[in-house]
Chains A and B, each alone.
Chain A
Amino acid sequence: MKSGIKSEVYDKLAGIAGNVSNSEIENWQKQGGKIVGYFCPFIPEEIIIAGGFLPYKVRGTGSSDTSEADEYFDTKNCSFVRHCFNHALLGKFDFLDAMIVGTGCDHTRRIFDNWQVAPLKTKLVYLLDHPRTMGTEGMEETIISYYRAQLAKMKEYLENNFGVEITVPKLRNAIKLCNETRLFQKKLYELRKVENPPITAAEMASVLMAGASIPKEQYNEYLKTLLKDLSSVQGVKKDYQARLMIIGPAIEDPLFYSLFEENGGEIVIDDTCFGARYSMKSFIDEEAEDPLHAIAKYNVSDVPFCPKINGSHKNRIEFIDKMMKEYKVDGIIGQGYVACDPWGSSFGMLSAHMKDAGIPYLRLEREYISTETGQLSTRIQAFIETIGGRK
């Protein structure tokens, strides 16, 4: 469903989100620019940008099966990694000069293993280790230092393989640039606090996905224009029955959003990878003497966490509660891919919290790309009816 946005910039961003590659990537390469792929929000784009590279968030847009990837992966692996790896095997990511994989969850980590043995054009692949624990008293600085050391290694890897120097001023500039993106995205989110948001969740998802696929300077310009375009319009008045918050791993499937819209649900805020988690919490210290330390601190202490981090449940609940109040949320959807181990096990904990707090909560297990939508639609419709019945 369209909100009826009339914005050339939006159309452009939606086009970029709808395809794996885009003309800005092609232009970047024509001018001799290098592109570095990455997977997980914990992998700092700032370091990639400071090296003069274009960071590209790998995604399975347009994928319809995983038969190529299933030679390497198992049905126990989530559909997200299988669709993405399938794309890689089909040559869709051949424009990447290097690939950085993070130790997000065990499924994504296996991309690193398989990338080394599969016949892929992009030979450079690096594994960045991200800490798995937070909230242990007295350990914070040790954990930050560990991640800082890991980031320094990743920086060296890029410097040595591409003959570039990633200096402190370059890092500060990159931090500024990404903070600007966070600020604009946050402003965009805030437009959805109103009764009739001028931009839908599906449209917002396109705008965010596009941001991780093109140069940041250009993207920030687009966001500025988009904010201007949207600030003057009123959202189409819709007869929705519930304002929803959606949580879980990245949602990169427009069809999934449409299931909510069709059933009278308006998703106004999220806690998802590359969604609100990117922009909603805070910014990286631009003036820090040691920018790598600032980046490490942000990624292990400040951002809202995915449940792969041990001890992050409390932090997640606090973030969800805060967003619920700010965005006047009626109900919460916990969605995750089949076989997603970090989210799968945390949904039970979330469910218990929601029950205690009296918050309507729906748990959905789904595939990265929606194919069979009948049962999902039944659940979603019934959930929205349940909220309607309470009102």
Chain B
Amino acid sequence: MIVGGCDLGSTTGKAAIMIDDKIYCGDIIPATTKPALTATMAMDSALKKAGLKSIDEIEYIIGTGYGRQKVPFASEDISEISCHGKGAYWALQSVRTIIDIGGQDCKAIAISDKGVVTQFEMNERCAAGTGRFFQVMAKVLTCGLEGIGSVSNISDNPVSISNQCSVFAESEVITLINDEKSIPDIITGINQSVAKRVVSLVRRVGIHDDVTLTGGCSKNLGLKKALENLLGTTIKPLPVDPQSIGAIGAAVFAKEKLLAKRAKELEVSSKE
């Protein structure tokens, strides 16, 4: 059985293909201005990784992410919240709390011991606590996203960033730069400020071990450390790329949907 998932996020496109129980993730594709094109590029990369010649070999595809309704080859769409729950549970069955920090959203998702989403919280419409916030800061600090996320920039003496609005926080950081604060102190302060905001979301759904981190910002090691300090628990790493978890979850859903569809068809044909 060959199924697929495509996660069209605000900033990147991801695709995953599942052949029997093995997952093949494509490369992370930066979003273009044409959602259908981003989806196709992401899926083409996954096809290559899975050694498939054509998308026609995939029997069922689920679209997810911000652009889930724009995935041209998807049979149906499922929200990224359900997909992150499904994907993280598939990757590590002991997960009960998922923190997904993407380009413009952050979400705290609680799942049951069966992997079903029981509750979630999502940031309100502003960019605070999301990848967009880091992008703005990386530009001001001219250090790139790698610099924000690097272990070498974790400091024991972080500054305090009080503004949660990314526009105001940007001014605050510019002031700190002009005060000649050290870059690692500022970067650690930025990561702590985002972590605080995210943790208040997580508290709403409850902190239950194991906790894992998904989405593009899971690659920010400074943020991961700040979250662990505030949560008082370790964040469990996943055995697959945490940025592709939404696409993986979509592929797992696709498999379930396809099995259910086949079972139904079998039932109908046995009645006839």
A residues touching B (Cβ–Cβ < 8 Å)?
Answer: 338, 351, 365, 372, 374-375, 378-379, 381-383, 385-386, 389-390
Contacts and interface: CB of A to CB of B under 8 A. Distances in A.
Interface in B58-74: 66
B117 A372 contact: no
- By secondary structure, the B interface counts as mixed
A374 B66 contact: yes
Contacts of A351: 204
A71 to B, nearest CB: 22
A382 B118 CA distance: 10
B116 A378 contact: no
Contacts of A378: 66, 79-81, 105, 122
Nearest to B125: A375
Given A365-B124, A372-B125, A375-B122, A382 B105 contact: no
Contacts of B66: 374, 378
Nearest to B80: A378
Contact of B118 (A338, A372, A386): A386
Contacts of B119: 386
Contacts of B118: 386, 390
Closest 3 CB pairs of A and B: A382-B81, A382-B79, A381-B79
A385 B117 contact: yes
Interface of B: 66, 78-82, 105, 116-120, 122, 124-125, 204
A385 B79 contact: yes
B187 to A, nearest CB: 28
23 contacts: A351-B204, A365-B124, A365-B125, A374-B66, A375-B105, A378-B81, A378-B105, A379-B122, A381-B78, A381-B79, A382-B79, A382-B80, A382-B81, A383-B120, A385-B78, A385-B79, A385-B82, A385-B117, A386-B116, A386-B118, A386-B120, A389-B116, A390-B116
A365 B122 CA distance: 11
A340 to B, nearest CB: 13
Contacts of B125: 365, 372, 375
Contacts of B120: 382-383, 386
A386 B117 contact: yes
B82 A382 contact: yes
B124 A382 contact: no
B259 to A, nearest CB: 16
Of A365, A374, A378, which is in contact with the most chain B CB atoms at under 10 Å from its CB?
A: A378
A286 to B, nearest CB: 46
Contacts of A379: 81, 122
A206 to B, nearest CB: 26
Contacts of A390: 116, 118
B105 to A, nearest CB: 7
Contacts of B82: 382, 385-386, 389
A390 B125 CA distance: 28
Nearest to A338: B124
A331 to B, nearest CB: 12
A385 B125 CA distance: 21
B250 to A, nearest CB: 12
A281 B134 CA distance: 50
Given A382-B80, A382-B81, 17 more contacts: A338-B124, A365-B124, A372-B125, A375-B105, A375-B122, A375-B125, A378-B66, A378-B79, A378-B105, A378-B122, A381-B78, A382-B82, A385-B81, A385-B117, A386-B120, A389-B82, A390-B116
A14 B204 CA distance: 40
Nearest to A366: B125
A112 to B, nearest CB: 29
B213 to A, nearest CB: 19
